[in-house]
A and B are shown apart, each in its own frame.
Chain A
Amino acid sequence: MAPCANIWRMTVVAPEHTAPAPAPADSDEPGDDDLVLADLLVEEISIDGMCGVY
């Protein structure tokens, strides 16, 4: 079994988020609201050093 393969046994609780209103669709370039929404859509965490904790 790979290190930390038991990650799937973890119970995960993510914070509740309220998505911001979408930015006007007059440009394909991401605006501030798009950056905020992208931050809410994807969150990364590192579990290096956590093996054996759970």
Chain B
Amino acid sequence: MPSYALHPQVGLRDERFGALAYHYGNRRLTFLNDDKLVAVVRSAADCHDVDIALAGAGVDEAQWPAYRLALARLADAGVLVARD
């Protein structure tokens, strides 16, 4: 599994629904609609495996494939950078 880190040009602002990510480079806005996903994103840089971040955020293991997909989309959007 890849690990991720928040892109250095991305600002993350907590919101009632989760968080709003703004990329100062590509000027894209991304809504993170879940507090657990936000926790994973914030802790991802400290984890060498994304599954450790998922477990640490309390994500139900049955939902890990969906969260991994969401993280991959965040990487595609430039919010996260993948670290293999």
B-contacting residues of A (Cβ < 8 Å)?
Answer: 2-5, 7-8, 12, 14, 17, 19, 22-25, 27-31, 33-35, 37-38, 40-48
B73 contacts across to A, CB distance below 8 A? 38, 42, 44
Across the interface, name the chain B residue whose C-beta is closest to A34. B66
Knowing A41-B70, A46-B28, say if A23 contacts B33 (CB, 8 Å).
no
A4 contacts across to B, CB distance below 8 A? 22, 27
Q: A30, B69: Cβ atoms under 8 Å? A: yes
Query: Inter-chain contact count A-B, CB under 8 Å?
Result: 94
Q: B31, A43: Cβ atoms under 8 Å? A: yes
Task: Report the Cα distance A17→B35, complex, angstroms.
Answer: 13
Q: A42, B29: Cβ atoms under 8 Å? A: no
Q: A47, B27: Cβ atoms under 8 Å? A: yes
Among B11, B29, B31, B66, point to the contact of A38 (Cβ < 8 A): B66
Task: Report the Cα distance A24→B65, complex, angstroms.
Answer: 10
Task: Report the Cα distance A27→B13, complex, angstroms.
Answer: 34
Q: A45, B29: Cβ atoms under 8 Å? A: yes
Extra contacts besides A3-B27, A38-B73, A46-B27 (13): CB < 8 Å: A4-B22, A7-B22, A22-B60, A22-B63, A23-B66, A34-B69, A37-B70, A38-B70, A41-B32, A42-B31, A42-B32, A44-B77, A45-B31
